[in-house]
Amino acid sequence: MNIKEYKSYNEMCKYVAEQIKYAINFNFMSEYFTLGLATGSTPIGIYTNMVADGWDTSKVYTFNLDEYADISLYHSQSYRTFMHEHLFRDKKFRQSFFPTEENYRNYDVMIQRFPIDIQILGIGTNGHIAFNEPGTPRDSLTRKVELTENTRNDNSRFFESMDQVPTHAYTMGIESIMRAKQIYLLANGKHKKDILEKACYGEVTSDIPASYLQEHEAVDVLYCE
């Protein structure tokens, strides 16, 4: 995995949005295309570029990486609300899925039915991908997880008080993510540089879940300060 550095956040996001567009166009003979989507601040620019560009996504299925447990679909901090605000309100997809209490046990089977062509990923400062925190095994699948205090603290800025921050979430596992055909791992900001270098060039270890991506044959790593 080589880290490609970009001069600006928008340039980095525009590149990924264009790769998605090319891939969908290139697959014009197939009946559908599948995108794996991420939340968080990093991918927002990709979605902005996708919305600004008028291309057709009506044959695209989407699978989001994760979602909080015990949070209403309409809660301002649910990942479904996030995706609605940044992408789904303006761009129409064939069908969009999130892991939930009802479906998380079947989520990987659903993905197998429509295998992910392109997966977008962010990285946490502790090396997590989705809610796969340090210690997550390589063969993990979609499941319900307890959030670490560190992650709850990081996310508490979006909630009125700490006791409103969800304690659990549903997340695709490492194995679920590794099944994607192509992965774009993005990191924005100097505070991500150190962990990104460890994930890309260091030892493959459960201590840094993103390091498992070294074992995937098609990962593009994009970074900007």
Q: Residue 210's closest CA among 125, 107, 117, 99?
A: 125
Kindly state the DSSP code that residue 182 receives in the 8-state scheme. Answer: E
Stretch that binds ligand PGA, among 35-43, 86-94, 99-107, 208-216 (CB under 6 A): 35-43
Q: How far is the CB of 102 from ligand PGA (least distance, A)?
A: 24
Please confirm, yes or no, whether 191 is among the known catalytic residues: no
For residues 87 to 126, the per-residue mask of contacts with ligand PGA, x marking binding by CB under 6 A and - elsewhere, is -----------------------------------xxx--
Can 66 be counted among the known catalytic residues?
yes
Would you state the structure tokens that stand for residue 15, as one six-digit string? 């590149």
Return the residue nearest ligand PGA (CB atom).
Answer: 40
Cβ distance to ligand PGA smaller for residue 68 or 114: 68
Distance CA 187, CA 12 (A): 10
Q: Is 31 a catalytic residue?
A: no
SS3 142: coil
With CA atoms as reference, report the closest residue to 121 among 194, 70, 178, 80.
178
Based on the residue annotation, tell me whether 197 is a catalytic residue of this protein.
Answer: no
> What number of residues does the chain have?
225
Question: Which residue of 40, 45, 99, 127 would you call a contact of ligand PGA, by CB under 6 A?
Answer: 40
- Nearest to ligand PGA of 111, 147 (CB atom): 147
Alpha helices in 79-173 (DSSP H): 79-83, 107-113, 149-155
| 209 forms part of the interface with ligand PGA (CB under 6 A) | no
Measured over the CA atoms of residue 35, residue 94, residue 170 and residue 224, the dihedral's sign is: positive
* Interface map 165-204 toward ligand PGA (x if CB under 6 A): ----------------------------------------
Q: What are the CA-CA distances from residue 158 to residues 18, 97, 129 (Å)?
A: 30, 23, 19
As annotated, the active-site residues are 66, 126, 128, 133
For binding to ligand PGA (CB under 6 A), which residues are involved?
Answer: 40-42, 122-124
